[in-house]
């Protein structure tokens, strides 16, 4: 990924990075050992814009540094910021009592010595720059395993992701300390300026790419040094590179097994000194002295001149200042992406399923008019017809357009070009004239040779580089945007409110093998399973003679169940029609039955999984899928986490994206949703526990084993007794696990519980939470009661709000807001209750009954960059194009009111206009 600054180029002193000695570029680099700021400091914003200051000059004498000795602590103790954040500071005199109350936020860097947003105990902290003798210069030995880039991670992260410097420094520290996204998003808000999880994921991805650049640079330096070709210019180009594309350009001549470049061949002929002398203009050069009549490449002056030109072109293309200029021009110029219809599309279309030679011959025998008509027909039917004459500035191309063009190019339907305006070459010529030609001796050979070399460098090296970078950035931007669509849709799907306390009959529709039916009780236990046939194709039938309808009625009445969940797969609409007619005829009376459509994507995959076999060892997999549908309605999160996110049928262009990036992002979304909703440590199954931040599959297994052998957990601290749950794991997961008294059972054991363990407040803030409760005159045992909630809200309002109360209690706003919100949540509060509930129906409309102008309600089933798809209950989702949104932005799962604009029954397309988000 080309990491280009959004604000400014890095000018900070470079840092020393320790890389692995391995030559394998795929291996991950070791963690950094030095940066140009203290390793154990977090940063906070200053009152003025942060400025980088330099320590006073110190004598350049080498001093020995003793290795740091970590203070011992009990095994399994949670690691807090207090323990790993130890900046070199000067502390003003403070009240000993207040100082002892110093919270987890008390020790992170302040740019101006103020306490900023720091918690208790941070007043008077002042950062002291590291001693100049501690700042090592660049290792002068080529190929050393320690190499310093001309930028550091935090500076490049700040520029690339558009972050403040202090936020970027904190993020680097947080990521390198293996903190999870949910933990940072909820419990380190003051260090990230309240960044959302999506922003944190983007920053983490950028940081990992930066580390990849550093590792690849170190590997390149080693390999080039081993070849004996590492010069000071090449070293500088490598350590200044800010993208993998730049490193690839520099590394091209040195790749093992690659063809030698033109410049490399010319250098082997001994023309390097001549080329550099001509560029410097230090003395007059005559090319005739290099002519060797019997040597290829030196036979005459023309060949010598060509070789020198290739070397000069190579030097120009890798010059750091030229690359910076090209980067700036790429951003400011009107670079366009053009796609046209690929040649031979008529013959290719005719050849589908036929003999290619005969088809080609038939096309060849056609008249021009016949070819034109056939081509028009092919164009009309092609899904890429919108891109047959596409030309747009790369700054304005939408992500879905990029992905569509890429797919069309891969399928040989489109020809794609990047058009770079001539002004780029003109400005490059002017720059090279100022930088080289205007200096040194002036003579005709030098002037013409440098001018031609610039043109050659541009056409052969620089313009292709621009094209690669533009396509790469477009692809990566489109890929990231599509992954974000996947992530947003998955998050909405996982956070659908649970439909608790109701029995559910689920139907997994099917034609050939019939419809699988499962009826579950309120706890998700299976009560009935069976198989029915829909008699599809019969518009009317005698209900009294239909055994399947009678059986459904019997089990619904038997178990007093009035909710039906229908899978949205094959035969979904026929099943819907079947239920609609039964409901409208009052077949289920006295029950008032309604149904809803449930996304069944991935249900069949789960039904055949090892996890399903362990859960239902004696059940047919066909019925397991129906059970899964019912549970998806009762508790979507608990059931959907059993399926790999990529199988849930959300997003767009899934197969055109990096599978690794998509899987990683979707997995992080699952962890985020499970963590933010929280899990009951005494009842959560393995599939949920393994998705909690800080835990994994093996730790979840050990928790279940401990729970089975030792009984229920009584406090959050008890999880430390589980083998494998150390201080870091506890720190990351503690805020996301709950200890609920009602699931412990033993009344005597319940008395040992800490009421704060039911909230989202992290144990590291329990001390402050107790102090806050005392201020509000609320006891621990009253947490979650209506009276306690009123008292807390009243205390905050009477103090003048969060900011005023934070100053009064000597803490920061983020900590106070987190604690206050956690204590004001009612008992058994569920985060998902804030989202839209399932949409239930009692009737069905056919697409054939739709007309332009009809007003309908439905639910958003998918969102893309060009619009949103809506289930309006007619067997085919309608599309609200961006042009019909009216400035609104409906999200996945939301109920909407729409107007039908057009109905294309032959193509099964419905155009909608958004009227309101309900």
Nearest to 467 by CA among 529, 426, 523, 424: 424
Residue 58 has a pLDDT of 43
Structure confidence at residue 654 as a pLDDT band (50, 70, 90): confident
Mean pLDDT of 8-21: 38
DSSP label of 596: E
Residue 547 has a pLDDT of 81
Span 687-731, pLDDT tens digits: 999 999 999 999 999 999 999 999 999 999 999 999 999 999 999
Q: Is the pLDDT of residue 139 over 80?
A: no
Q: Is the pLDDT of residue 374 over 70?
A: no
In Å, how far from its chain's centre is CA 261?
38
Q: Is the pLDDT of residue 120 over 70?
A: no
Q: Is the pLDDT of residue 122 over 60?
A: no
Q: What is the C-alpha to C-alpha distance for residues 165 and 154, in angstroms, rounded to an integer? A: 7
Structure confidence at residue 130 as a pLDDT band (50, 70, 90): very low
Residue 402 has a pLDDT of 92
- Gyration radius from the chain CA atoms: 34
Structure confidence at residue 513 as a pLDDT band (50, 70, 90): confident
Residue 337 has a pLDDT of 95
Q: What is the C-alpha to C-alpha distance for residues 505 and 903, in angstroms, rounded to an integer? A: 33
Structure confidence at residue 890 as a pLDDT band (50, 70, 90): confident
Residue 422 has a pLDDT of 93
Mean pLDDT of 602-628: 90
Structure confidence at residue 96 as a pLDDT band (50, 70, 90): very low
Mean pLDDT of 527-534: 88
Q: Which residues of 514-541 are buried (b: 16+ CB within 10 A; e: fewer)?
A: bbbbbbbeeeeebebbbbbebeeeeeee
Residue 350 has a pLDDT of 52
Q: What is the C-alpha to C-alpha distance for residues 894 and 633, in angstroms, rounded to an integer? A: 16
Residue 39 has a pLDDT of 38
Question: For a pLDDT cut of 90, what percent of the chain falls above it?
Answer: 36
- Helices 572-584 and 547-559: crossing angle in degrees, nearest 10, is 70
Q: What is the C-alpha to C-alpha distance for residues 734 and 727, in angstroms, rounded to an integer? A: 10
Q: Which residues pair with 857 in a beta bridge?
A: 897
Residue 411 has a pLDDT of 84
Q: Side by side, which strands form the sheet with 526-532?
A: 526-532, 515-520, 504-508, 563-567, 594-598
Cis peptide before 474 (omega within 30 of 0): no
Lowest mean pLDDT among 365-374, 375-384, 485-494, 838-847: 838-847
Nearest to 883 by CA among 905, 867, 861: 867
Span 428-481, pLDDT tens digits: 999 999 999 888 888 999 999 999 999 999 999 999 989 998 998 899 889 888
Q: What is the C-alpha to C-alpha distance for residues 531 and 513, in angstroms, rounded to an integer? A: 9
- CATH for 148-256 is 1.10.10.650
Residue 846 has a pLDDT of 60
Q: What is the C-alpha to C-alpha distance for residues 209 and 661, in angstroms, rounded to an integer? A: 12
Predicted TM-score of the model (pTM): 0.69
Tokens of 70: 């970590």
Domain boundaries, the chain: 148-256, 313-489, 501-655, 845-917
Q: Considering the chain, what is the average pLDDT of its residues? A: 78
Neighbour count for residue 410 (Cβ, 10 Å) = 10
Residue 537 has a pLDDT of 46
According to CATH, the topology of domain 501-655 is: Nucleotidyltransferase; domain 5 (3.30.420)
Q: Is the pLDDT of residue 865 over 50?
A: yes
Lowest mean pLDDT among 223-237, 712-726, 768-782, 843-857: 843-857
Mean pLDDT of 145-173: 85
Mean pLDDT of 127-152: 45
Give 437 or 916, the one with higher predicted confidence: 437
Residue 484 has a pLDDT of 86
> Would you call 883 helix, strand, or coil by DSSP?
helix
Structure confidence at residue 749 as a pLDDT band (50, 70, 90): confident
Mean pLDDT of 356-385: 63
At residue 117, what are phi and psi to the nearest 5 degrees?
Answer: -100, 20
Do 518 and 634 contact (CB within 8 A), yes or no?
no
Residue 71 has a pLDDT of 39
Q: Which residues of 470-479 are buried (b: 16+ CB within 10 A; e: fewer)?
A: bbebbbbebb
Residue 660 has a pLDDT of 84
> Would you call 670 helix, strand, or coil by DSSP?
helix
Give 712 or 36, the one with higher predicted confidence: 712
Q: Is the pLDDT of residue 334 over 90?
A: yes
Question: For a pLDDT cut of 70, what percent of the chain falls above it?
Answer: 75
Lowest mean pLDDT among 52-61, 251-260, 466-475, 808-817: 52-61
Q: Is the pLDDT of residue 92 over 60?
A: no
Tokens of 794: 């009243």
Q: Which of 110-124, 151-165, 168-182 has the highest mean pLDDT?
A: 168-182
CATH number belonging to the domain at 845-917, selected among 2.40.50.140, 3.90.1300.10, 3.40.50.740, 3.40.50.2300: 2.40.50.140
Structure confidence at residue 69 as a pLDDT band (50, 70, 90): very low
According to CATH, the topology of domain 313-489 is: Tex N-terminal region-like (1.10.3500)
Residue 845 has a pLDDT of 54
Residue 31 has a pLDDT of 41
Lowest mean pLDDT among 80-89, 218-227, 479-488: 80-89
Tokens of 129: 């720059």
Q: Is the pLDDT of residue 308 over 90?
A: yes
Lowest mean pLDDT among 182-186, 540-544, 811-815: 540-544
Which helix (H) or strand (E) covers residue 457, if one does? helix 444-457
Mean pLDDT of 290-318: 92
Q: Is the pLDDT of residue 882 over 80?
A: yes
Structure confidence at residue 37 as a pLDDT band (50, 70, 90): very low
Say which residues have a Cβ less than 8 Å from residue 290's Cβ, sequence separation at least 6: 270, 271, 274, 298, 304
Residue 347 has a pLDDT of 52
Q: Is the pLDDT of residue 327 over 70?
A: yes
Give 893 or 526, the one with higher predicted confidence: 526
Span 548-562, pLDDT tens digits: 888 999 999 999 999
Q: Is the pLDDT of residue 117 over 90?
A: no
Q: Is the pLDDT of residue 258 over 80?
A: no
Mean pLDDT of 616-622: 90
Q: Is the pLDDT of residue 64 over 70?
A: no
Asked whether the CA dihedral 710, 712, 715, 720 is positive or negative, the reply is positive
Neighbour count for residue 677 (Cβ, 10 Å) = 19
Residue 918 has a pLDDT of 66
């Amino acid at each position: 990924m080309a990491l280009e600054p959004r604000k400014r180029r890095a000018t900070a002193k470079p840092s020393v990075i320790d890389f692995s000695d391995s030559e394998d570029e795929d291996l991950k680099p070791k963690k950094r050992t030095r940066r140009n700021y203290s390793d154990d400091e977090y940063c906070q914003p200053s009152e003025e814009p942060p400025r980088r200051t330099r320590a006073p000059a110190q004598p350049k004498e080498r001093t020995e540094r003793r290795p740091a000795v970590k203070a011992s602590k009990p095994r399994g103790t949670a690691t807090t910021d207090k323990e790993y954040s130890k900046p070199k500071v000067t502390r003003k005199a403070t009240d000993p009592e207040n100082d002892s109350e110093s919270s987890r936020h008390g020790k992170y860097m302040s740019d101006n010595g103020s306490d900023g947003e720091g918690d208790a105990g941070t007043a008077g902290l002042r950062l002291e720059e590291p001693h100049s003798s501690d700042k090592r210069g660049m290792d002068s030995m080529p190929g050393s395993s320690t190499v310093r880039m001309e930028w550091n991670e935090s500076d490049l992260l700040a520029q690339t992701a558009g972050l403040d410097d202090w936020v970027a420094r904190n993020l680097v520290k947080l990521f390198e300390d293996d903190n999870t996204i949910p933990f940072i998003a909820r419990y380190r808000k003051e260090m990230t300026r309240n960044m959302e999880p999506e922003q944190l994921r983007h920053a983490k991805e950028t940081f990992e790419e930066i580390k990849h650049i550093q590792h690849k640079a170190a590997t390149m330096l080693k390999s080039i040094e081993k070849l004996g070709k590492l010069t000071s210019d090449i070293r500088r180009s490598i350590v200044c590179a800010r993208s993998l594309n730049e490193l690839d350009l520099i590394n091209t001549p040195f790749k093992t097994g690659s063809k030698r470049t033109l410049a490399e061949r010319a250098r082997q002929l001994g023309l390097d000194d001549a080329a550099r002398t001509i560029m410097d203009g230090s003395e007059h050069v005559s090319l005739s002295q290099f002519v060797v009549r019997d040597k290829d490449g030196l036979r005459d002056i023309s060949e010598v001149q060509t070789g020198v030109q290739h070397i000069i072109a190579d030097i120009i293309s890798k010059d750091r200042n030229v690359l910076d200029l090209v980067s700036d021009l790429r951003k400011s110029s009107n670079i366009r992406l053009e796609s046209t219809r690929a040649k031979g599309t008529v013959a290719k279309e005719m050849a589908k399923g036929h003999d290619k030679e005969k088809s080609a011959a038939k096309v060849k025998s056609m008249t021009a008019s016949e070819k034109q008509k056939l081509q028009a027909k092919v164009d009309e039917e092609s899904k890429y017809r919108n891109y047959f004459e596409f030309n747009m500035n790369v700054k304005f191309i939408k992500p879905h357009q990029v992905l569509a063009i890429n797919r069309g190019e891969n399928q040989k339907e489109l020809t794609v070009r990047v058009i770079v305006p001539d002004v780029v070459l003109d400005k490059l010529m002017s720059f090279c004239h100022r930088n080289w030609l205007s200096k040194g001796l002036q003579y005709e050979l030098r002037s013409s040779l440098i001018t031609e070399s610039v043109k050659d460098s541009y056409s052969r090296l620089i313009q292709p580089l621009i094209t690669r970078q533009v396509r790469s950035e477009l692809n990566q931007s489109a890929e990231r945007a599509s992954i974000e669509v996947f992530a947003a849709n998955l998050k909405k799907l996982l956070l659908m409110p649970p439909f608790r306390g109701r029995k559910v009959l689920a139907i997994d529709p099917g034609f050939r093998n019939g419809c699988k039916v499962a009826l579950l009780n309120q706890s998700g236990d299976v009560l009935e399973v069976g198989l029915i046939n829909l008699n599809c194709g019969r518009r009317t039938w005698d209900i009294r003679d239909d055994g399947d309808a009678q059986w459904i009625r019997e089990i619904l009445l038997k178990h007093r169940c009035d909710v039906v969940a229908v899978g949205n797969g094959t035969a979904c609409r026929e099943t819907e029609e079947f239920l609609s007619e039964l409901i409208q005829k009052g077949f289920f009376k006295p029950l008032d039955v309604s149904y809803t459509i449930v996304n069944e994507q991935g249900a069949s995959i789960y039904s055949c999984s090892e996890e399903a076999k362990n859960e239902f060892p004696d059940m047919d997999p066909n019925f397991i899928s129906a059970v899964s549908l019912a549970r998806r309605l009762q508790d979507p999160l608990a059931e959907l986490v059993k399926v790999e996110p990529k199988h849930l049928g959300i997003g767009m262009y899934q197969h055109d994206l990096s599978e690794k990036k998509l899987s990683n992002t979707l997995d992080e979304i699952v962890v985020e949703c499970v963590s933010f909703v929280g899990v009951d440590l005494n009842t959560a199954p393995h599939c949920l526990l393994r998705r909690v931040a800080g835990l994994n599959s093996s730790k979840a297994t050990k928790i279940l084993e401990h729970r089975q052998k030792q009984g229920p957990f009584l406090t959050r601290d008890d999880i430390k007794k589980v083998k494998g749950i150390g201080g870091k794991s506890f720190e990351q997961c503690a805020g996301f696990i709950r200890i609920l008294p009602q699931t412990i059972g033993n009344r005597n054991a319940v008395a040992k519980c800490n009421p704060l363990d039911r909230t989202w407040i992290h144990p590291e803030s329990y001390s402050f939470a107790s102090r806050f409760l005392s201020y509000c005159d609320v006891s621990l045992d009253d947490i979650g009661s209506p009276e306690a909630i009123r008292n807390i809200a009243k205390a905050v309002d009477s103090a003048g709000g969060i900011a005023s109360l934070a100053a009064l209690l000597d803490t920061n706003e983020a900590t106070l807001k987190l604690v206050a919100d956690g204590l004001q949540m009612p008992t058994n509060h569920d985060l998902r209750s804030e989202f839209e509930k399932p949409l239930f129906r009692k009737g069905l409309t056919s697409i054939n009954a739709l007309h332009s102008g009809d007003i309908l309600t439905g639910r958003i089933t998918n969102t893309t960059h060009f619009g949103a798809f809506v289930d309006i209950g007619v067997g085919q989702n309608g599309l609200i194009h961006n042009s019909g949104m009216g400035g609104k932005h409906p999200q996945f799962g939301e109920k909407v009111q729409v107007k039908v604009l057009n109905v294309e029954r032959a193509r099964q397309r419905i155009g909608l206009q958004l009227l309101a988000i309900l």
